[in-house]
Structure 1
Amino acid sequence: MATIIRDRGIKDRPALEGVAAAERALELLTCFRTGDKALSLAELAERTGLVKSTIMRLAISLERYNLLVRLHDGRYQLGSGVVRLGTIYQESTDLEQHVMPVLAKLAAETQETATFYVRHGDVRLCLFRVNSSNSLRLDVAPGTQRPMDQAGSAQLLRLFADWPDTNPDLPPLPIYTAGATTPHVASSSVPIIGHGNRLVGALSLAGPEARLTERRGAEVALRLLRSGLELCRALGGDAEAIYRIPIAHAT
């Protein structure tokens, strides 16, 4: 009969559960959406499913940490503490200082909108963007949430989610799609790999399909690949095998 011997020096880790009050407070903060300036108590209750008395108690605690502000008309808006946390996050990753110059250069070279997407749960989030100088263009504001559909950036965020622990079949890059999210809008995308060869996000060019045709996408492909590889290197990633372009062409 086999005997299981347990190391007495190592205690079993107890099953941990979240704190309900903390989860309700976070639910209150995260119910705000892009474009919201202030929400009434009734709107907060509708979005969160929490009763108004609970929301008011949570709001008092959140106000103490400047995460929520109660306006004179009784509505609520996010406080400066949220901005502070966002700033700390960006500074801790140094992501913006690497991404924005690449986006600016890419948008200037191609005259199309350059964007950087990350996955946020079941959606992709536009974290940074530089708009095209053309009057007819795709405007995507930072913070905009887009579906995880068949757009190139969404495909890449799914495909490389567990990279390099898994080895999916790699498609030719960049991935060009048209009308996947918005009718008559096309995009071309590459993955961005950082330290430890982990996925950081997706770099995309987007514009009207009438201008950013599949042929035009092929013409700007090398610029996009070069920009993506430059960003991967800056973030500590080795993406040459993924991008499948000669080093001489990528430098």
Structure 2
Amino acid sequence: MSQTVDRALSILPLLAQGPADLGQVAERLGVHKSTALRLLRTLHEHGLVYRQQDQRYRLGARLFALAQEAVENLDVREIAHPHLVALNEQIGHTIHLAVYEESEVLYIDKVESRYPVRMYSRIGKPVAITVAAVAKLLLADLPEAERRALAEKLDYPMYTSRSIPNRVAFLKELAVVREQGWATDLGGHEESINCIGAPIRGADGRVVAAMSVSAPNVVVTAEELLSLLPLVRRTADVISREYSGAAPSGDGPRTPRGNTPPKEAS
């Protein structure tokens, strides 16, 4: 990447934190104000940056439009969304859809819970990669060499006492997830939040996305959430068939009866 392009792109995450004036941009980039001004003008011409009346710069509307367009053109999101909404209408909990891109797991869709408690998560935001159920599902499907190389590079923050502490434990968890075909995060990122997830697969059987259902333990216990796993997996299977173009089997999302909750992943 050329130095000019690199500098121009570096302005965007700076302005994502809030409006900044020319001096602040120049200082952050480590360049003269004239260089910073030239870069800002170019970004402004493309609608990616906007100059306010107070002479500070902020992100432009064109950037948000491009981001929204990119999200909407992710086929798996378009296909999955109505199924996620239908599942949310049945169970009421927060539902996420995520994909793996360039060593990050990102949320590409979210359906909010029907109760007042809200989760701090946003579309486009990276997840806590070592603990999130969707991350475990996506990384567990990677080829072994890639999986091990990634695990070697990751940090392992202890968000709670139930967070995965190191590479060995992480690889062990991914092996379990790969074998069983579902994943959990039971208080690993936030003590009060539990999550279960299932993979969405393409025609070749590879995991192209992962969906999850999350709820605070003041609303449902971990055991109650785990009892929904068969329904979550069926929803993921329906999305997978539609995404891969397979013939529908007629077993769309419905409330399971008489299911025994699966054991928690170690």
- TM norm structure 1: 0.74
Q: Distance in 2 between matches of 1:44 and 1:195?
A: 46
How does 1:76-225 map onto structure 2 within 5 Å?
Answer: 76-121=57-102, 123-162=104-143, 169=175, 170-194=178-202, 196-225=204-233
Find the aligned partners of 1:22 and 1:196 in 2 and give their Cα distance: 37
Deviation at 1:120, TM superposition (A): 4.6
Larger Rg: 1
Q: Does residue 23 of structure 1 match 2:3? A: no
Distance in structure 1 (CA, Å) of the matches to 2:82 and 2:69: 20
TM-score, structure 2 as length reference: 0.70
CA distance in 1, matches of 2:230, 2:47: 46
Q: Which amino acid aligns with 2:55?
A: G
248 and 87 in structure 1: CA distance in 2 versus 1, 3 angstrom threshold: closer
- Cα distance, 1:52–1:229 mapped onto 2, change above 3 Å: farther
- Distance (Å, rounded) in 2 between the aligned partners of 1:226 and 1:235: 14
- Equivalent-residue separation in structure 1 for 2:36 and 2:96 (angstroms): 36
Higher relative contact order (CA 8 A, sep 6+): 2
Residues 68 and 76, structure 1, Cα contact 8 Å, conserved in 2: yes
| Structure 1 pair 133–121 and aligned structure 2 pair: CA distance change class (3 A) | same
What is the match of residue 14 of structure 1?
none
Q: Distance in 2 between matches of 1:151 and 1:90?
A: 21
Change in CA separation of 1:96 and 1:39 when aligned onto 2, cut-off 3 Å: farther
Deviation at 1:82, TM superposition (A): 1.4
Stretches of structure 2 that go unaligned for 5 or more consecutive residues are 148-173, 254-266
CA distance in 1, matches of 2:32, 2:108: 33
Aligned residue in 2 for 1:50? 30
CA distance in 2, matches of 1:25, 1:111: 43
Q: Deviations over 1:120-176 (max 9, x none)?
A: 54543222111111123435332333321222122122222449x99x842324312
Could you tell me which amino acid in structure 2 is paired with residue 24 of structure 1?
Answer: R
Aligned match of 1:13: none
- Kindly state the Cα deviation for residue 228 of structure 1 after the two structures are TM-superposed: 0.8
Give secondary structure in 1 for the equivalent of 2:179: coil
Q: Secondary structure at the match of 1:127?
A: strand
Separation (CA, whole Å) in 2 of partners of 1:195 and 1:59: 44
Distance in structure 2 (CA, Å) of the matches to 1:160 and 1:196:
12
Query: Which residue does 1:231 correspond to in 2?
Result: 239
Taking only aligned residues, the RMSD between alpha carbons, in angstroms, comes to: 3.0
